[in-house]
Amino acid sequence: MWDRHLVSRAWSIAELRRLAKRRLPRGIFDFFDGGAEDELSLNDNIQAFQRLKLIPRPLVDVSSIDLSTLLLGRRSSLPVAIAPTGGPGFGRHGSDVAIARAAVEAGIPYTLSTSATASIERIAREAPGGRLWFQAYILKNREFLAGLLNRALAADYDALMITVDLPVGGKRERDAGNRISFPFQFTARHFRDFAFNVRWLAGMARYGMPMVENLIGMETQATNAGRIASSVGRSYDPSFDWDRLKRMRDEWPRRMIVKGILHPMDADRLTSIGIDAIVVSNHGGRQLDGAIAPIDALPAIVEAVGGRAEVWVDGGVRRGSDIAKACALGANAVMVGRATLFGAFAGLEAGASRALTILTDELERTMQLCGARSIGEIDRGLLHESSVPASAVRRPFKEAR
Ligand SMILES: Cc1cc2nc3c(=O)[nH]c(=O)nc-3n(C[C@H](O)[C@H](O)[C@H](O)COP(=O)(O)O)c2cc1C
Protein backbone atom coordinates (compact mmCIF):
# COMPACT_ATOMS: atom_id res chain seq x y z
CA MET A 1 0.00 0.00 0.00
CA TRP A 2 2.76 2.39 1.08
CA ASP A 3 4.86 1.26 -1.92
CA ARG A 4 1.97 2.01 -4.24
CA HIS A 5 1.75 5.50 -2.80
CA LEU A 6 5.51 6.06 -3.11
CA VAL A 7 5.76 4.92 -6.72
CA SER A 8 2.69 6.91 -7.73
CA ARG A 9 4.62 10.02 -6.67
CA ALA A 10 7.81 9.11 -8.54
CA TRP A 11 8.26 11.53 -11.42
CA SER A 12 11.20 9.94 -13.26
CA ILE A 13 13.04 6.66 -13.81
CA ALA A 14 15.90 8.16 -11.76
CA GLU A 15 13.49 8.55 -8.85
CA LEU A 16 12.32 4.92 -9.18
CA ARG A 17 15.99 3.91 -9.15
CA ARG A 18 16.45 5.83 -5.88
CA LEU A 19 13.44 4.07 -4.35
CA ALA A 20 14.76 0.67 -5.48
CA LYS A 21 18.18 1.48 -4.05
CA ARG A 22 16.66 2.29 -0.68
CA ARG A 23 14.78 -1.00 -0.61
CA LEU A 24 17.58 -3.41 -1.53
CA PRO A 25 20.79 -4.49 0.19
CA ARG A 26 23.70 -2.79 -1.53
CA GLY A 27 25.11 -5.97 -3.04
CA ILE A 28 21.75 -6.87 -4.57
CA PHE A 29 21.11 -3.37 -5.90
CA ASP A 30 24.60 -3.28 -7.43
CA PHE A 31 24.00 -6.61 -9.15
CA PHE A 32 21.09 -5.08 -11.09
CA ASP A 33 22.44 -1.56 -11.47
CA GLY A 34 26.05 -2.34 -12.32
CA GLY A 35 28.05 -3.07 -15.43
CA ALA A 36 31.33 -4.65 -16.45
CA GLU A 37 34.84 -3.51 -15.42
CA ASP A 38 35.11 0.33 -15.38
CA GLU A 39 31.46 0.67 -16.41
CA LEU A 40 32.48 2.79 -19.40
CA SER A 41 29.77 1.30 -21.60
CA LEU A 42 27.18 1.40 -18.83
CA ASN A 43 27.67 5.14 -18.41
CA ASP A 44 28.16 5.87 -22.08
CA ASN A 45 24.85 4.20 -22.92
CA ILE A 46 23.09 6.99 -21.03
CA GLN A 47 25.44 9.79 -22.06
CA ALA A 48 25.18 8.88 -25.75
CA PHE A 49 21.44 9.61 -25.61
CA GLN A 50 22.15 12.86 -23.77
CA ARG A 51 24.59 13.98 -26.50
CA LEU A 52 21.89 13.81 -29.17
CA LYS A 53 20.14 17.16 -29.59
CA LEU A 54 16.57 17.68 -30.76
CA ILE A 55 15.39 20.45 -33.06
CA PRO A 56 11.69 21.07 -32.39
CA ARG A 57 9.30 21.98 -35.22
CA PRO A 58 6.42 23.94 -33.64
CA LEU A 59 3.20 25.20 -35.25
CA VAL A 60 1.84 21.70 -35.81
CA ASP A 61 -1.56 20.67 -34.40
CA VAL A 62 -0.42 18.24 -31.71
CA SER A 63 -3.70 18.05 -29.82
CA SER A 64 -3.94 14.37 -30.73
CA ILE A 65 -0.94 12.08 -30.71
CA ASP A 66 -0.61 8.43 -31.75
CA LEU A 67 2.22 6.58 -29.99
CA SER A 68 1.40 3.15 -31.40
CA THR A 69 3.47 1.25 -33.92
CA LEU A 70 3.73 -2.13 -35.61
CA LEU A 71 6.29 -4.55 -34.16
CA LEU A 72 6.75 -7.79 -36.07
CA GLY A 73 3.34 -7.43 -37.68
CA ARG A 74 1.33 -6.67 -34.56
CA ARG A 75 0.33 -3.37 -33.05
CA SER A 76 2.11 -2.24 -29.91
CA SER A 77 0.80 0.78 -28.06
CA LEU A 78 4.34 2.16 -27.85
CA PRO A 79 7.61 1.61 -29.73
CA VAL A 80 8.84 -0.16 -26.59
CA ALA A 81 9.28 -3.78 -25.48
CA ILE A 82 10.49 -5.21 -22.19
CA ALA A 83 14.07 -6.53 -22.44
CA PRO A 84 14.87 -9.94 -20.96
CA THR A 85 16.48 -9.79 -17.52
CA GLY A 86 17.74 -12.62 -15.38
CA GLY A 87 17.06 -12.94 -11.68
CA PRO A 88 14.48 -10.23 -10.88
CA GLY A 89 13.18 -12.31 -7.96
CA PHE A 90 16.49 -11.78 -6.16
CA GLY A 91 15.53 -8.10 -5.94
CA ARG A 92 11.95 -8.71 -4.90
CA HIS A 93 9.73 -11.75 -4.98
CA GLY A 94 7.22 -11.62 -7.82
CA SER A 95 9.08 -9.01 -9.91
CA ASP A 96 9.05 -11.06 -13.14
CA VAL A 97 5.26 -11.45 -13.07
CA ALA A 98 4.83 -7.83 -11.98
CA ILE A 99 6.76 -6.57 -15.03
CA ALA A 100 4.97 -8.97 -17.39
CA ARG A 101 1.58 -7.77 -16.10
CA ALA A 102 2.61 -4.14 -16.42
CA ALA A 103 3.57 -4.86 -20.05
CA VAL A 104 0.15 -6.43 -20.73
CA GLU A 105 -1.56 -3.40 -19.22
CA ALA A 106 0.58 -1.02 -21.27
CA GLY A 107 -0.06 -3.03 -24.46
CA ILE A 108 3.60 -3.77 -25.21
CA PRO A 109 5.56 -7.04 -25.67
CA TYR A 110 7.33 -8.73 -22.78
CA THR A 111 10.47 -10.85 -23.18
CA LEU A 112 11.12 -13.60 -20.66
CA SER A 113 14.78 -14.45 -20.00
CA THR A 114 16.05 -18.01 -19.83
CA SER A 115 17.46 -17.05 -16.43
CA ALA A 116 14.41 -15.24 -15.10
CA THR A 117 12.97 -16.25 -11.75
CA ALA A 118 9.60 -17.22 -13.24
CA SER A 119 9.03 -20.06 -15.67
CA ILE A 120 7.76 -19.91 -19.24
CA GLU A 121 4.46 -21.41 -18.10
CA ARG A 122 4.08 -19.21 -15.01
CA ILE A 123 4.39 -16.00 -17.04
CA ALA A 124 1.89 -17.27 -19.63
CA ARG A 125 -0.53 -18.20 -16.83
CA GLU A 126 -0.13 -15.17 -14.57
CA ALA A 127 0.17 -12.45 -17.20
CA PRO A 128 -2.55 -13.55 -19.64
CA GLY A 129 -3.57 -11.59 -22.70
CA GLY A 130 -0.14 -10.22 -23.46
CA ARG A 131 2.37 -10.67 -26.22
CA LEU A 132 5.22 -12.87 -25.04
CA TRP A 133 8.67 -13.47 -26.47
CA PHE A 134 11.17 -15.97 -25.09
CA GLN A 135 14.89 -15.13 -24.87
CA ALA A 136 17.22 -18.10 -25.14
CA TYR A 137 20.79 -18.31 -24.00
CA ILE A 138 22.68 -20.98 -25.87
CA LEU A 139 23.21 -23.75 -23.36
CA LYS A 140 25.73 -26.51 -23.85
CA ASN A 141 22.99 -28.98 -22.99
CA ARG A 142 21.30 -28.96 -26.40
CA GLU A 143 18.56 -31.32 -25.36
CA PHE A 144 17.57 -29.06 -22.48
CA LEU A 145 17.61 -26.00 -24.74
CA ALA A 146 15.39 -27.79 -27.29
CA GLY A 147 13.01 -28.59 -24.44
CA LEU A 148 12.83 -24.91 -23.47
CA LEU A 149 12.02 -23.92 -27.05
CA ASN A 150 9.25 -26.53 -27.23
CA ARG A 151 7.84 -25.23 -23.96
CA ALA A 152 7.84 -21.67 -25.34
CA LEU A 153 6.00 -22.86 -28.46
CA ALA A 154 3.45 -24.78 -26.39
CA ALA A 155 2.85 -21.73 -24.18
CA ASP A 156 2.23 -19.53 -27.25
CA TYR A 157 5.28 -17.28 -27.12
CA ASP A 158 5.20 -15.70 -30.55
CA ALA A 159 8.90 -15.02 -31.05
CA LEU A 160 12.27 -16.40 -30.01
CA MET A 161 15.08 -14.00 -29.13
CA ILE A 162 18.62 -15.37 -29.25
CA THR A 163 21.16 -13.39 -27.22
CA VAL A 164 24.58 -13.60 -28.85
CA ASP A 165 26.73 -11.26 -26.77
CA LEU A 166 27.30 -13.64 -23.89
CA PRO A 167 29.58 -16.49 -24.99
CA VAL A 168 31.16 -15.93 -21.56
CA GLY A 169 30.08 -13.74 -18.66
CA GLY A 170 31.28 -10.13 -18.39
CA LYS A 171 33.67 -9.12 -15.59
CA ARG A 172 31.36 -7.38 -13.11
CA GLU A 173 33.56 -5.82 -10.48
CA ARG A 174 30.82 -4.43 -8.25
CA ASP A 175 29.69 -8.02 -7.70
CA ALA A 176 33.22 -9.09 -6.91
CA GLY A 177 33.63 -6.20 -4.44
CA ASN A 178 30.31 -7.03 -2.78
CA ARG A 179 31.22 -10.75 -2.73
CA ILE A 180 28.12 -11.49 -4.76
CA SER A 181 28.79 -14.74 -6.51
CA PHE A 182 27.02 -17.97 -7.21
CA PRO A 183 26.62 -20.22 -5.37
CA PHE A 184 25.83 -17.53 -2.82
CA GLN A 185 27.77 -17.71 0.42
CA PHE A 186 27.09 -15.52 3.42
CA THR A 187 30.03 -13.66 5.00
CA ALA A 188 30.17 -11.18 7.89
CA ARG A 189 30.17 -8.43 5.28
CA HIS A 190 26.85 -9.62 3.88
CA PHE A 191 25.43 -9.74 7.36
CA ARG A 192 26.00 -5.99 7.82
CA ASP A 193 24.63 -5.20 4.38
CA PHE A 194 21.57 -7.44 4.58
CA ALA A 195 20.66 -7.06 8.26
CA PHE A 196 19.72 -3.40 7.74
CA ASN A 197 17.29 -4.40 5.02
CA VAL A 198 14.53 -5.86 7.06
CA ARG A 199 12.03 -5.72 4.21
CA TRP A 200 14.32 -7.57 1.78
CA LEU A 201 15.16 -10.16 4.43
CA ALA A 202 11.50 -10.55 5.34
CA GLY A 203 10.70 -11.23 1.67
CA MET A 204 13.38 -13.89 1.46
CA ALA A 205 12.25 -15.43 4.75
CA ARG A 206 8.64 -15.51 3.59
CA TYR A 207 9.09 -16.78 0.04
CA GLY A 208 12.50 -18.45 0.24
CA MET A 209 15.40 -18.06 -2.20
CA PRO A 210 14.03 -17.53 -5.71
CA MET A 211 14.48 -20.23 -8.32
CA VAL A 212 15.70 -19.87 -11.87
CA GLU A 213 12.55 -21.75 -12.72
CA ASN A 214 13.18 -22.42 -16.40
CA LEU A 215 16.31 -24.35 -15.57
CA ILE A 216 14.96 -26.61 -12.88
CA GLY A 217 15.93 -30.11 -13.87
CA MET A 218 18.87 -29.07 -16.04
CA GLU A 219 21.16 -30.48 -13.39
CA THR A 220 19.68 -32.94 -10.97
CA GLN A 221 21.78 -31.45 -8.17
CA ALA A 222 20.47 -27.94 -8.81
CA THR A 223 18.02 -27.43 -6.02
CA ASN A 224 18.18 -23.72 -5.36
CA ALA A 225 18.72 -20.57 -7.34
CA GLY A 226 22.35 -20.23 -6.33
CA ARG A 227 23.30 -23.65 -7.58
CA ILE A 228 21.20 -23.30 -10.70
CA ALA A 229 22.68 -19.88 -11.48
CA SER A 230 26.18 -21.26 -11.11
CA SER A 231 25.38 -24.12 -13.42
CA VAL A 232 24.06 -21.60 -15.98
CA GLY A 233 27.44 -19.84 -15.96
CA ARG A 234 29.17 -23.08 -16.72
CA SER A 235 26.56 -24.08 -19.23
CA TYR A 236 26.78 -21.33 -21.85
CA ASP A 237 28.14 -22.60 -25.12
CA PRO A 238 31.00 -20.38 -26.36
CA SER A 239 31.22 -22.42 -29.57
CA PHE A 240 27.87 -21.11 -30.86
CA ASP A 241 28.40 -19.62 -34.32
CA TRP A 242 26.74 -18.49 -37.55
CA ASP A 243 26.15 -22.05 -38.79
CA ARG A 244 24.29 -23.07 -35.67
CA LEU A 245 22.30 -19.85 -35.63
CA LYS A 246 21.26 -20.53 -39.23
CA ARG A 247 20.17 -24.07 -38.29
CA MET A 248 18.15 -22.70 -35.36
CA ARG A 249 16.53 -20.19 -37.70
CA ASP A 250 15.58 -22.98 -40.10
CA GLU A 251 14.08 -25.08 -37.31
CA TRP A 252 12.19 -22.42 -35.34
CA PRO A 253 8.75 -21.94 -36.95
CA ARG A 254 7.91 -18.44 -35.66
CA ARG A 255 9.58 -15.04 -35.65
CA MET A 256 13.22 -14.91 -34.62
CA ILE A 257 15.08 -11.96 -33.09
CA VAL A 258 18.84 -11.71 -32.51
CA LYS A 259 20.00 -9.54 -29.61
CA GLY A 260 23.48 -8.17 -28.97
CA ILE A 261 24.60 -6.82 -32.35
CA LEU A 262 26.78 -3.70 -32.74
CA HIS A 263 28.43 -4.13 -36.14
CA PRO A 264 26.67 -3.34 -39.44
CA MET A 265 28.30 -6.31 -41.19
CA ASP A 266 26.75 -8.69 -38.68
CA ALA A 267 23.38 -7.01 -39.01
CA ASP A 268 23.57 -7.35 -42.79
CA ARG A 269 24.42 -11.03 -42.52
CA LEU A 270 21.55 -11.67 -40.12
CA THR A 271 19.04 -10.45 -42.66
CA SER A 272 20.40 -12.93 -45.19
CA ILE A 273 19.56 -15.85 -42.90
CA GLY A 274 16.00 -14.69 -42.32
CA ILE A 275 16.19 -13.00 -38.91
CA ASP A 276 13.08 -10.86 -38.40
CA ALA A 277 14.45 -8.31 -35.94
CA ILE A 278 17.86 -7.26 -34.64
CA VAL A 279 18.43 -5.75 -31.21
CA VAL A 280 21.36 -3.35 -31.26
CA SER A 281 22.64 -3.88 -27.73
CA ASN A 282 25.71 -4.10 -25.51
CA HIS A 283 23.76 -5.97 -22.83
CA GLY A 284 23.23 -2.82 -20.79
CA GLY A 285 27.01 -2.38 -20.38
CA ARG A 286 27.31 -5.70 -18.52
CA GLN A 287 29.45 -7.61 -21.03
CA LEU A 288 32.25 -6.04 -23.11
CA ASP A 289 33.30 -2.84 -21.35
CA GLY A 290 34.32 -0.20 -23.88
CA ALA A 291 31.81 -1.50 -26.43
CA ILE A 292 30.18 1.29 -28.43
CA ALA A 293 26.89 2.67 -27.09
CA PRO A 294 24.08 1.00 -29.05
CA ILE A 295 22.46 4.33 -29.94
CA ASP A 296 25.79 5.36 -31.56
CA ALA A 297 25.95 2.05 -33.46
CA LEU A 298 22.35 2.33 -34.62
CA PRO A 299 22.52 4.56 -37.74
CA ALA A 300 25.09 2.40 -39.56
CA ILE A 301 23.09 -0.73 -38.72
CA VAL A 302 19.83 0.77 -39.92
CA GLU A 303 21.57 1.65 -43.15
CA ALA A 304 23.09 -1.82 -43.55
CA VAL A 305 19.77 -3.56 -42.90
CA GLY A 306 17.93 -1.31 -45.33
CA GLY A 307 14.46 -2.33 -44.15
CA ARG A 308 14.98 -6.11 -44.57
CA ALA A 309 14.44 -6.64 -40.82
CA GLU A 310 13.26 -4.54 -37.93
CA VAL A 311 15.98 -2.83 -35.91
CA TRP A 312 15.50 -2.21 -32.20
CA VAL A 313 17.95 -0.70 -29.75
CA ASP A 314 18.47 -0.98 -26.00
CA GLY A 315 20.83 0.30 -23.33
CA GLY A 316 20.42 3.52 -21.37
CA VAL A 317 16.78 4.32 -22.11
CA ARG A 318 15.74 6.40 -19.11
CA ARG A 319 13.61 9.12 -20.71
CA GLY A 320 10.76 9.25 -23.19
CA SER A 321 12.92 11.58 -25.27
CA ASP A 322 15.44 8.71 -25.59
CA ILE A 323 12.73 6.70 -27.34
CA ALA A 324 12.07 9.59 -29.73
CA LYS A 325 15.81 9.92 -30.44
CA ALA A 326 16.10 6.19 -31.19
CA CYS A 327 13.14 6.39 -33.58
CA ALA A 328 14.69 9.48 -35.19
CA LEU A 329 17.82 7.44 -35.93
CA GLY A 330 15.73 4.73 -37.58
CA ALA A 331 14.94 2.26 -34.77
CA ASN A 332 11.56 0.56 -34.95
CA ALA A 333 11.52 0.30 -31.16
CA VAL A 334 13.56 0.38 -27.98
CA MET A 335 13.79 -2.23 -25.25
CA VAL A 336 13.97 -1.34 -21.59
CA GLY A 337 15.72 -3.37 -18.90
CA ARG A 338 16.56 -1.50 -15.73
CA ALA A 339 13.75 1.07 -15.99
CA THR A 340 11.03 -1.50 -15.26
CA LEU A 341 13.29 -3.52 -12.92
CA PHE A 342 13.73 -0.44 -10.71
CA GLY A 343 9.97 0.14 -10.84
CA ALA A 344 9.22 -3.46 -9.81
CA PHE A 345 11.71 -3.38 -6.93
CA ALA A 346 10.16 -0.15 -5.69
CA GLY A 347 6.53 -1.25 -6.03
CA LEU A 348 5.99 -4.52 -7.92
CA GLU A 349 3.30 -4.20 -10.63
CA ALA A 350 2.36 -0.64 -9.63
CA GLY A 351 6.05 0.30 -9.82
CA ALA A 352 6.69 -1.35 -13.18
CA SER A 353 3.52 0.28 -14.54
CA ARG A 354 4.68 3.61 -13.15
CA ALA A 355 7.97 3.24 -15.05
CA LEU A 356 6.08 2.63 -18.30
CA THR A 357 3.67 5.51 -17.62
CA ILE A 358 6.58 7.88 -17.00
CA LEU A 359 8.22 6.86 -20.30
CA THR A 360 4.89 7.11 -22.15
CA ASP A 361 4.12 10.58 -20.80
CA GLU A 362 7.62 11.81 -21.56
CA LEU A 363 7.53 10.41 -25.09
CA GLU A 364 4.15 12.01 -25.74
CA ARG A 365 5.31 15.36 -24.40
CA THR A 366 8.55 15.19 -26.44
CA MET A 367 6.57 14.48 -29.61
CA GLN A 368 4.16 17.34 -28.90
CA LEU A 369 7.03 19.73 -28.23
CA CYS A 370 8.79 18.58 -31.40
CA GLY A 371 5.73 18.70 -33.66
CA ALA A 372 5.53 14.96 -34.40
CA ARG A 373 2.01 13.48 -34.29
CA SER A 374 2.86 9.84 -34.82
CA ILE A 375 5.86 7.54 -34.55
CA GLY A 376 6.04 7.56 -38.35
CA GLU A 377 6.52 11.33 -38.30
CA ILE A 378 9.66 11.07 -36.16
CA ASP A 379 12.62 11.16 -38.48
CA ARG A 380 16.24 12.22 -38.72
CA GLY A 381 15.16 15.83 -39.23
CA LEU A 382 14.31 15.91 -35.53
CA LEU A 383 17.99 15.68 -34.60
CA HIS A 384 20.72 18.25 -34.93
CA GLU A 385 23.02 16.46 -37.41
CA SER A 386 26.20 17.63 -35.68
CA SER A 387 25.10 15.84 -32.50
CA VAL A 388 24.99 12.50 -34.34
CA PRO A 389 28.49 10.94 -34.14
CA ALA A 390 30.26 11.35 -37.47
CA SER A 391 31.46 7.74 -37.38
CA ALA A 392 27.88 6.58 -37.27
CA VAL A 393 26.75 8.57 -40.29
CA ARG A 394 26.83 6.86 -43.68
CA ARG A 395 29.72 4.57 -42.84
CA PRO A 396 30.69 2.12 -45.55
CA PHE A 397 31.03 -1.47 -44.43
CA LYS A 398 32.90 -4.44 -45.84
CA GLU A 399 31.83 -7.98 -46.61
CA ALA A 400 30.92 -10.09 -43.58
CA ARG A 401 33.63 -12.34 -42.13
C1 LIG B 1 20.07 -7.36 -14.11
C2 LIG B 1 20.09 -7.59 -15.58
C3 LIG B 1 19.93 -8.88 -16.07
C4 LIG B 1 19.96 -9.10 -17.44
N5 LIG B 1 19.72 -10.37 -17.91
C6 LIG B 1 19.65 -10.59 -19.24
C7 LIG B 1 19.28 -11.86 -19.73
O8 LIG B 1 19.01 -12.79 -18.99
N9 LIG B 1 19.24 -12.02 -21.09
C10 LIG B 1 19.54 -11.00 -21.97
O11 LIG B 1 19.50 -11.20 -23.18
N12 LIG B 1 19.85 -9.77 -21.50
C13 LIG B 1 19.90 -9.54 -20.17
N14 LIG B 1 20.17 -8.29 -19.71
C15 LIG B 1 20.35 -7.19 -20.68
C16 LIG B 1 18.99 -6.56 -21.00
O17 LIG B 1 18.21 -7.42 -21.77
C18 LIG B 1 19.16 -5.26 -21.80
O19 LIG B 1 19.99 -5.48 -22.90
C20 LIG B 1 19.71 -4.11 -20.94
O21 LIG B 1 19.20 -4.17 -19.64
C22 LIG B 1 19.36 -2.78 -21.58
O23 LIG B 1 19.93 -1.74 -20.87
P24 LIG B 1 19.12 -0.86 -19.78
O25 LIG B 1 19.09 -1.72 -18.54
O26 LIG B 1 19.96 0.33 -19.63
O27 LIG B 1 17.74 -0.61 -20.32
C28 LIG B 1 20.17 -8.04 -18.34
C29 LIG B 1 20.31 -6.75 -17.84
C30 LIG B 1 20.27 -6.51 -16.48
C31 LIG B 1 20.39 -5.10 -15.99
Residues annotated as catalytic are: 283
Q: How confident is the model at residue 190 (pLDDT cuts 50, 70, 90)?
A: confident
Q: Is the CB of 351 under 6 A from ligand 1?
A: no
Taking the mean position of all CA atoms in its chain, how far away is CA 148?
A: 20
User: Which residues pair with residue 310 across a beta bridge?
Assistant: 277
Q: Is the pLDDT of residue 335 over 90?
A: yes
With helix as H, strand as E and coil as C, how does 76-128 read? ECCCEEECCCCCHHHHCCCHHHHHHHHHHHHCCCEEEECCCCCCHHHHHHHCC
Residue 199: what pLDDT?
87
Residue nearest to atom 5 of ligand 1 (CA): 85
**How much is the pLDDT for 382?**
97
Q: What is the pLDDT of residue 221?
A: 42
- Does residue 216 contact residue 228 with C-beta atoms inside 8 Å? yes
- Residue 398 pLDDT > 70: no
Task: Compute the distance from residue 62 Cα to the ligand 1 centre, in Å.
Answer: 34
Partner residues linked to 163 by β-bridges: 259
pLDDT digits (tens, 9 = 90+) for 74-100: 999 999 999 999 999 999 999 999 999
Q: Is 218 in the pocket of ligand 1 (CB under 6 A)?
A: no
Q: What does the pLDDT read at residue 214?
A: 95
Flag whether pLDDT at 44 surpasses 60.
yes
Residue 338 Cβ < 6 Å to ligand 1: yes
Q: Cis ω on the peptide bond leading into residue 253 (within 30° of 0)? A: no
CATH superfamily ID and name for 2-389:
Aldolase class I (3.20.20.70)
All structural domains of the chain with their residue ranges? 2-389
- To test ligand 1's pocket by mutation, which of 28, 85, 342 has the most ligand atoms within 8 angstroms of CB? 85
Residue in 24, 172, 286, 342 to alter for ligand 1 test, most ligand atoms within 8 A of Cβ: 286
Ligand 1 within 6 A of CB of 115: yes
Distance CA 192, CA 205 (A): 17
d(CA 112, CA 106): 16
Q: How far is the CA of 58 from the centre of ligand 1 (A)?
A: 36
Cβ contact 367:60 at 8 Å = no
Each residue of 93-141: pLDDT tens digit?
Answer: 999 999 999 999 999 999 999 999 999 999 999 999 999 999 999 999 9
Q: What average pLDDT does range 322-343 have in this prediction?
A: 98
